[in-house]
Structure 1
Amino acid sequence: MSKSDYTLVLPAYTVGANAYDAIGKITRPFGKKVVIIGGKTALSKAQDAILAAIKDTPLEVVGTLWYGGDATFENVDMLLANPAVQQADLIFAVGGGRAIDTCKVVADKANKAIFAFPTVSSNCAPVTAISVMYKADKSFAGYYYLDQPPVHTFINMTIIADSPYELFWAGIGDAMSKECECELSSRKGEMFHTVEVARALATVCTKPLIAYGVKALEDFKKKQVTFELQQVVLDIIVSTGLVSNCATDETEYYYNSSVAHLFYNSSTVLPQSVEKHLHGEIVSFGVLVLLTYDKQFEQRDKLAAFYKKCGYPTKLSDLDISVDEVDKIVAKGPDAREWTCVPEPMTAEIFKKAILDANEFGESLK
């Protein structure tokens, strides 16, 4: 692919309490046999609503499968070997980021059309052309790149509002990284149309989280679908996903993430990071690391005030990480693609200083 000859497929979505009503019409050109794959809880929440929505359509469900519990290539291979996957024309990916990312890889390898049905609002996986993959020990394995995102994403707000609060809370933390990471990683890159679009889209990712985040979290606790909640859900799933699709190329450029995800991916070397804390929770502290690294102290102060209101981590101890463990995180850093997603060469000393300085800042907050 060259910058003058490429294909970019952007996400399409339906949102609302009745989003599933559009399934029949949207999927019509892609076949009739469907395999539904997802997490156990997600399937229990969404499967009946999906089946009710397609009962008067030509769609035929040939199987409903558990995705395996994590986004691993072992689970991808397990699903590829399943006769229901082999028979299906369409894959309905149901659940959170890891379930949908697993299904995206399965669909890519099996050359099947995939449709996403997020049951939580925790990240942009339902609309992106990239899957975050993990090893069996839950440590970060790397990224799997696809030619395009799911064909369509159905965001049922009633189901989203009935999902675990902590996943929505963590989703806000993850989305908080998109604007600053895209800007930082692309700052000295070659600008052309797609990257310019990514940078422009990124500028609308942070403001709604701060403007509507507190109210959206309160509404979510009450399972109330409100304007504020829907704005934040669309920010987490769609806005950040649009940036991801424009900012990512497997070989030529990668402006989708930077120091915040460098901190997260590196922290997976610690057991407590993968066992006790959520992706977006750790990324949210990584945003403070990025802003410290980039000397954006005014923005860091602004986000820290929001963090304190909503319970996001502002220091290492909030993540059960000790200062003595920072060297382990730093040592893992060069293995992550984000190590190079900065305007100037990253070093262990620079990364460590940013982490420790961000922690010192967080410790100083009242």
Structure 2
Amino acid sequence: MGDFVKEILVKPIQYADEVVKLADGAISFRQDCLEVKTKSEKLVSLLRQAARASGDLYERPTRRIIDDTEQVLDKALTLVLKCRANGIARIFTIIPAGAFRKITQQLENSIGDVSWLLRVSTPADDRDDEYLGLPPIAANEPILCLIWEQIAILCSGTIEDRTDAAASLVSLARDNDRYGKLIIEEGGVGPLLRLAKEGRMEGQESAARAIGLLGRDPDSVEQIVNAGVCQVFAKILKEGHMKVQVVVAWAVSELAAHHRKCQDHFAQSNVIQLLVSHLAFETIQEHSKYAIPTKHAMSIHSVVMANNQKNDMDVTDANYRNNEQDDECKSKIQRPRGCQRIVKCTIW
């Protein structure tokens, strides 16, 4: 990423330096050229700052902002060159009256865009809770700016900030299918999967839920699968917290429902096998309540389940004797059975 940013910054920095150098030699519209020079100096300073921080910049807005900035500086350079013409060339050089006003505003917008890019790519601890605002480039589509911000936080924020960002993306993806497509297009799947793999329980739940909401059509599901969702979900289903596993099972069912061919990828990553094992666990647990263990050839599992059944009966008897213990007994943590329904929907 760092080398890519440095590469695309070469031309705009070169254009800005040329504008600063040539503006002093302007013959016509000299005052306007000096104003363009001032803004170009400020812009090139920000561009060099971006080059130094290239490894931390979020790629999607970086590419778009730098491309627009390069075009603006190219226009500014062309305008300044026209103002240096003299003699006969000056007679045939036409400069529209509003050209400088327009290019000055565009340079100002580019300064705002690059400044925003540097702020949004700065780790949250170094921002001092500074409000990022809207960059001029996203003035007509503010939701895009919000998505950029949340994905940037997912890339460089703390665990707590990344958890909040994932929750924000969940809200966006739930509200509008188009927002979900934007999240995928702007590179949000990779950071979400990293959070699902590395984050805390709440962050993992939000990340898995966001992934499930993003897979609304076959193309989206295919991009999510190509990003490595199968491996991440398989690890969670094998080692993750039970609450996260339930959300992951739901997300798998959503992805499979919108793109049946992805079931093969899940099967190859042992996701289906792990889901079936969860289903089998619940089935065994359910039927074991009614099993009558014998004294011969009892397995470890049957012994454990028989003891659990005996303990449950003892607790029930105690409840009849003392109603004040009802709340305590009801608070016993049991394995959620919602996963059973989700698994059935996924594999059938």
Higher fraction of helix: 2
Higher fraction of strand: 1
Same fold (TM over 0.5): no
Relative contact order (alpha carbons < 8 A, sep ≥ 6): 1 or 2 greater?
A: 1
Report the TM-score when normalising by structure 2: 0.31
Instruction: Look at both structures and tell me which one has the larger radius of gyration over its CA atoms.
Output: 2
